[in-house]
Amino acid sequence: MNKKKVKSVIFLSNYFNHHQKPFCEEMYRILKENYTFIETETMSEERQNMGWGIQHYPPYVVTSAVFNANRKKYQQKIDDADVVIIGAAPLALIKTRNKNNRLVFRYSERLLKDKLKLWQYPLCFLRWHKATPPSSNIYLLCASAYASKDHTSFSLFKNRHYKWGYFPEVKIYADVDQLIASKKRASLLWVARFLNLKHPEVPVEIAKRLKKEGYCFELNIIGTGELEKTVTQMVADEGLTDCVHLLGAMKPEEVRTHMEQSEIFLFTSDRREGWGAVLNESMNSGCAVVASHAIGSVPYLIKDKENGCIYRDGDVDDLYRKVKFLLENEEKRAAMGRNAYLTMVNEWNAKTATMKLLELAERIGNGKEMPELYAQGVCSRAEILKDDWYVPEKN
């Protein structure tokens, strides 16, 4: 029996951006013209203003304008491809593939970022089962450690959940220890849009406590948004303008420069943060990260006290204890930053993700799907993780 090889892959998503590019570049390197990324929407003006816009599209990208103008042609390509990956795109595009039992990977964050009311469950159950029939040859790529639990609660993708995520650029530094040694001492960084789910008020509260206890530090905050005036007023009211700097919006490459210069990265989003690619980027930059347990990427990427620190979502006291611990322990701070960097370089990167996904697809295509194909990391089986799994140690 001849082994089937994956020769063509199509990735469907709302729009192409810098977070997806490394994975797409790796796919294109292997499959050449047999790899296609199809945009189904035009990027919002807000995202473009954040520096997410693409001026020169790679040859494998089909823009939303081209796709909509040639819908029949590209629908046929979707139907015929060996593998389709579908993210934030209309599920109607894979209707024919589902009917013909063709392999699909559904790329999804958690379903229940906001908890549903009891009466909403039956409606969601029917809608989601109609979109992804249990009998179809469709597998879930969990772009959140909580995606498996949420989908399982609706009996979706039974025994077909795999760890996944987002794979922004992973930089390789000639000497990561030198990078860490060159960082500004006692420097903290927070990066996000100023939205309720990101909790920009929390790093300011941490700065307030640190200053009150006499710590010497610097906190840089990058971003803009609806809560910007509130945060600016907080900084002024608490007398923090000497140690807390609001730097506004920046392009992705400028943000990475600040990560490379900062020792500690604060990631304070709640359960509504589907993945959070800034975690990948800050870890790759050798930062010692302190992150909320509720963020989708955290349970996959961080081993508590080994390559970063996890705090209980909403527990500012727990967060503060972790930040103080890092400020007071230079060796631990450096070790976590180094281990964080190695986590990105050795496992959570586009090259590893591409290799593992293509191998997984070939195993499935040849009837050799195996739970133990990968014991851990990308494309390993995604366990069901409850929202309250993390309990801080008592002092």
- What is the phi/psi pair of residue 84, to 5°? -120, 130
pLDDT of 133: 77
More confident residue, 250 or 127: 250
The tens digit of pLDDT for each residue in 55-80 reads 689 999 999 999 999 999 999 999 99
pLDDT of 19: 84
pLDDT of 45: 66
Q: How many CA atoms lie within 13 A of 263 on its CB side?
A: 23
Task: Please say if the pLDDT value at position 10 is more than 80.
Answer: yes
Q: How many CA atoms lie within 13 A of 394 on its CB side?
A: 0
Tokens of 222: 């990058």
More confident residue, 294 or 43: 294
pLDDT of 90: 92
Statement: the pTM of the whole predicted model exceeds 0.85: yes
What is the rounded CA–CA span in Å between residue 111 and residue 119? 16
Q: Is residue 137 within 8 Å of residue 105, measured between CB atoms?
A: no
User: Directed axis angle between helix 316-328 and helix 330-346, to 10°?
Assistant: 100
Q: Is residue 341 within 8 Å of residue 183, measured between CB atoms?
A: no
State the DSSP code for 381.
B
User: Is residue 363 within a helix (H) or strand (E), and if so which, with residue range?
Assistant: helix 350-365
Whole-Å CA distances, 160 to 190, 256, 301, 315:
35, 35, 21, 34
The amino acid present at 84, given as its one-letter code, is V
Task: Please say if the pLDDT value at position 393 is more than 90.
Answer: no
Tokens of 149: 């639990």
Q: Is residue 94 within 8 Å of residue 78, measured between CB atoms?
A: yes
pLDDT of 372: 65
The tens digit of pLDDT for each residue in 238-293 reads 999 999 999 999 988 999 999 999 999 999 999 999 999 999 999 999 999 999 99
Q: Is residue 225 within 8 Å of residue 249, measured between CB atoms?
A: no
The terminus-to-terminus CA distance of the chain in angstroms comes to 61
Task: Please say if the pLDDT value at position 1 is more than 60.
Answer: no
pLDDT-based confidence at residue 212 (cuts at 50, 70, 90)? very high
Out of 97-111, 299-313, 354-368, the most confident range is 299-313
State the DSSP code for 311.
E
What is the rounded CA–CA span in Å between residue 259 and residue 190? 9
Task: Please say if the pLDDT value at position 369 is more than 90.
Answer: no
In DSSP terms, 142 is beta-bridged to 108, 163
Q: Mean pLDDT for the chain?
A: 93
Q: What is the CA radius of gyration of the chain?
A: 22
Whole-Å CA distances, 355 to 191, 207, 359, 360, 361:
31, 43, 6, 9, 10
pLDDT-based confidence at residue 111 (cuts at 50, 70, 90)? very high
The whole-number average pLDDT for the span 325-354 is 98
Greatest CA separation found in the chain? Answer: 73
The tens digit of pLDDT for each residue in 141-197 reads 999 999 999 999 999 998 899 999 999 999 999 999 999 999 999 999 999 999 999
The whole-number average pLDDT for the span 361-373 is 79
% of the chain at pLDDT higher than 90: 81
pLDDT of 53: 62
Tokens of 290: 């302190």
